[in-house]
Amino acid sequence: MKWLVLLLSLLSAVPTILARRDGAPTNEQENACQDLMPQHGVPSQPPNMGFILFSDVIPSGNYTPGETYEVRLNATIGDFAGLFIQARTETNQDDVSSIVGLWTPLSNLSRRAQCNGVNGDAITHSSAERKREQFFNWTAPAIDMGRIHFLYSIVVAFSNIFVKLNATVERPPVTVAPATMPPQGEQGEPFLNSYGEPLGCPQNECAFYVEWRSNGQFIDFRMEGNASGWIALGISGQNSALDTVNRSFSDVLVCQVEAVGSAVNVTDLFLRGGEVTPSFDSSQEGLDLTSGEITGDRIFCNFSRVQIILVGQEGQDVSLSDDNFLFFLSGNATDTVNEVPMDFNTSAVSGNVIFSPARANINRGFVVFTAPFTTLPGKGSFPTSSCSREDCDFYFRWGVNPNNPNYLTFFISADLTVGWAAIGVSRDRRMGGDEIDDIFGCSTNNNLFTGGVEVADTHNVAGGDRRNVGDNSGTDGLVSHRLGVLNGRLECTFSRLITVLPADNTSDFNLDDSYYIIIGTGENPGTPFTRHERNPEWSTSEVNLVRESSVDFDYSRIPLIKAHGIFMVLAWPILAQLGIAMARHMKPAMPNGGWFLLHRILVLSGVFFSSLAFLLIFVAYRNADTRGLIHLGDINGLGTAHFVVGITVIVLQFTNPIIALFRCAPDDNKRWIFKLLHKYIIGCSLQLLPLANVMIGLYLFGDKIVNPRKMDAYWVMVALVSAYSLWDGLLNIYFGYSCHKCKEKTCAVTVEGELGTELKPISPDGSTSHDPTTKPKKKPSPDHWLRWAGWIGLAAIAIPLGITIIGLIGRG
């Protein structure tokens, strides 16, 4: 049976937690030291999604014996919970005996670990607190042991781990410096991209202004700002460069007035996470100053920087070919130490500008959004209209971009860490219906150096195909602002062109029109968006996103699904099962028909609640594109099984009482046909199929409906079915054996007696006779007390556990 297969597959499940709070296990029994595998029972997730070690020892593997080197672990995709790092010799790096060197933590979020008999020959986390960056010191062995490799494992979440990464292999893409620097001046493309502080200021009135363009392998910059000593452009893969607690690594380009005279030079620096004083890059290759001057208290400089990271500058530069956040800084001539700007914490201007220098802006002007997402006027959410950004399964805002009215800006926040979240517009309110659906959103990905999150513009193919495919123009007309997975949520801010590009006239809609709004999520990362495990939500009416600021969804669906589940649990695991047990075990204990009355009350009550639940689920899905039916086939195999079995149960639950109404008399020679259908075929089916289907339904509820995923109601149902089946099976075996051992004539009276059968006590010759005037009371069987104890035992299993399941459904 399908539910049994499902049960067996889930027995290997483990609780979901982030990481061991006190660090990686290092005893030999758990083998973490040998294979660096966290003991989570899940495989590693290839490839590395952006967790990189930087050090002067990497990637050469060469060191000076006894020297201490700083090692930095950087996350380019958000954050992580756990870490485990070792240094091993190259000649025998697969064996734990090759561990060399000693580690020293530089924060209270990490601690020494012992793997090869020496405390500190490995390092791990000391807390499951989320981290973006960690620093350590590694002291090389006192004698030269040959080239070494840093091996490390990362825990993002309990089921999301990266095991035994090799820092020599896991490197950002690099290139050598071009032989010649590009000329500036009139050559190259025009400077289409610009940004000034405050937003919208005229160039010569901005406190800080920068513009840039692509120029072959380089990016050309023109920068100016109000300062007497220096102005700086910070570039970071994360929007936390100015956060004193969670500051991430940043690349910094500084235009600085020389100590003597008025000449201006450009310098390439980098800012370590958690620090406010930058350091010089080991090389200034790939950076060329075209011109620079100071006029009054305003600094001007033009320079070029190579786009991709140069060999030897890994961990010091960021790739300008990727999306990054910009922040601006300035200071006077005294804010320097050894000609390096001193304090980047107090002089920051902004940290919210997305930097996409290599991306074409389709000649529609630069698009930026620096305001808080709460300033966007439009708002939508699910599962309720009042839930907050932190509590909603799906929360989004939108509004016309304040800097460029050709674009509509969206903010999406979804309760997932791996997968995608998207918004769509549709004319016919059918997924893949007669027309396409225009879909845009963001997804996590496996790209090492895009921050782990990307935006995409896609569409669902028309004609019932339901496939999601990328638009012809790719991401033209789509500009990302903020992307990331932080605090357990996928969040992104991006702008989408309101009008339709010529290349996308068959895949995009003009957003200045009215459409049904679709919101959906999926657990498989990457774009185009994969099929969703959960049904998407549709707006109840058409909305013009440019001109309207509210959207409503069917908020009654989740409560109706819960009511469906509650009534089904009440109907089958409790009422109907106890009613069936009453007929099976209690006839001899209540030989005068009381068993039949209770049997009928319990079973018909179950039929009532089951019928009510059946109607509620169709009401719940009345607005779905399948009009009440759960998605079938390859979208959700268990959903198909639940639907088919549910329909079968509903048909059988009405068929069995109808058969009982037309049953023949107990002494009719065709009575066996009724018993075969009512008791064995339909009766046994109605005992087994509903239990299996309730289990499937609770699994679907915990896996597909409840967010975050909760399987507690399903597991309580597994306990109920297991305990009930065991107890009921023992009763069947015992009472069946007792009946077999008793005298045949006695059994004929006590076991086969039925309501309406008027039997006199057995005469000496074994015959019975009907008496139309008297209905003598029959005595309960000698084991009636045991039968009552057995039935009460079944009730003691079904009722408390059933009520527990009902409570879990209501709370889910």
Dist. CA 598–CA 586, nearest whole Å? 10
Highest mean pLDDT among 55-69, 203-217, 423-437: 55-69
Average pLDDT score over residue span 759-782:
57
**Confidence check: pLDDT of 344 > 70:** no
Average pLDDT score over residue span 536-559:
90
**Confidence check: pLDDT of 213 > 50:** yes
Dist. CA 408–CA 305, nearest whole Å? 32
Asked whether 689 and 648 are in contact (CB, 8 A), the reply is yes
Least confident of 163-167, 498-502, 793-797: 498-502
Q: Write down the pLDDT at residue 720.
A: 94
Dist. CA 431–CA 438, nearest whole Å? 10
Least confident of 286-290, 511-515, 607-611: 286-290
Burial class, 297, CB count within 10 angstroms (exposed 0-12 / middle 13-18 / buried 19+): exposed
The residues pairing with 458 across neighbouring beta strands, listed in sequence order, are 439, 470
Q: Which residue, among 744, 781, 739, 776, has the nearest Cα to 761 in the 3D structure?
A: 776
Going by pLDDT thresholds of 50, 70 and 90, the confidence category of residue 759 is very low
Q: Write down the pLDDT at residue 510.
A: 92
Kind of pairing between the strands at 309-310 and 174-175: parallel
Q: Please give the residue that has the higher pLDDT: either 545 or 671.
A: 545
Asked whether 50 and 452 are in contact (CB, 8 A), the reply is yes
Percent of the chain with pLDDT over 90: 25
In this predicted model, what pLDDT tens digit does every residue of 68-121 receive, in sequence order?
A: 998 988 776 567 889 999 999 998 888 888 999 999 998 888 999 999 888 999
Average pLDDT score, the chain: 77
Q: Write down the pLDDT at residue 167.
A: 86
Query: CA 160, 166, 172, 176: dihedral to nearest 10 degrees?
Result: -170
Q: Write down the pLDDT at residue 358.
A: 32
Going by pLDDT thresholds of 50, 70 and 90, the confidence category of residue 632 is very low
Q: Write down the pLDDT at residue 56.
A: 83
Least confident of 212-221, 548-557, 687-696: 212-221
708 preceded by a cis bond (ω within 30 of 0) = yes
In this predicted model, what pLDDT tens digit does every residue of 361-390 receive, in sequence order?
A: 333 345 667 677 888 999 999 988 999 998
Q: Provide the CA 397 distance to its chain's centre, in angstroms.
A: 20
Which pTM value belongs to this model? Answer: 0.52
CA-based max dimension of the chain: 133
**Confidence check: pLDDT of 268 > 50:** yes
The total number of residues shown for the chain amounts to 812
Place of tokens 């991209």: 193
Q: Please give the residue that has the higher pLDDT: either 503 or 354.
A: 503
Two tokens, residue 483: 């992307």
Q: Please give the residue that has the higher pLDDT: either 411 or 244.
A: 411
**335 three-class SS:** coil
Q: DSSP for 505-542?
A: TTT---SSSEEEEEEEEESS-SSSPPPPSSPPEEBSS-
Q: Write down the pLDDT at residue 238.
A: 57
**Confidence check: pLDDT of 243 > 70:** no
Q: Please give the residue that has the higher pLDDT: either 435 or 79.
A: 435
**794 three-class SS:** helix
Kind of pairing between the strands at 193-197 and 378-382: unpaired
**Confidence check: pLDDT of 651 > 50:** yes
Q: Which residue, among 42, 96, 49, has the nearest Cα to 75 in the 3D structure?
A: 49
Two tokens, residue 729: 């099976």
State residue 575 phi and psi, 5-degree precision.
-65, -55
Task: Give the start-end residues of each E strand in 361-488.
Answer: 378-382, 394-400, 407-414, 420-426, 437-444, 453-460, 468-470, 478-486
**Confidence check: pLDDT of 773 > 80:** no
Dist. CA 379–CA 386, nearest whole Å? 10
Handedness of CA 668, 670, 676, 678 (dihedral sign): negative
Dist. CA 719–CA 739, nearest whole Å? 30
**Confidence check: pLDDT of 518 > 80:** yes
Asked whether 276 and 255 are in contact (CB, 8 A), the reply is no
State residue 809 phi and psi, 5-degree precision.
-65, -45
Q: Please give the residue that has the higher pLDDT: either 273 or 287.
A: 287
Least confident of 137-151, 203-217, 468-482, 746-760: 746-760
Q: Write down the pLDDT at residue 1.
A: 37
Q: Which residue, among 146, 43, 23, has the nearest Cα to 93 in the 3D structure?
A: 146
**Confidence check: pLDDT of 220 > 90:** no
Q: Write down the pLDDT at residue 371.
A: 73
Q: Write down the pLDDT at residue 308.
A: 74
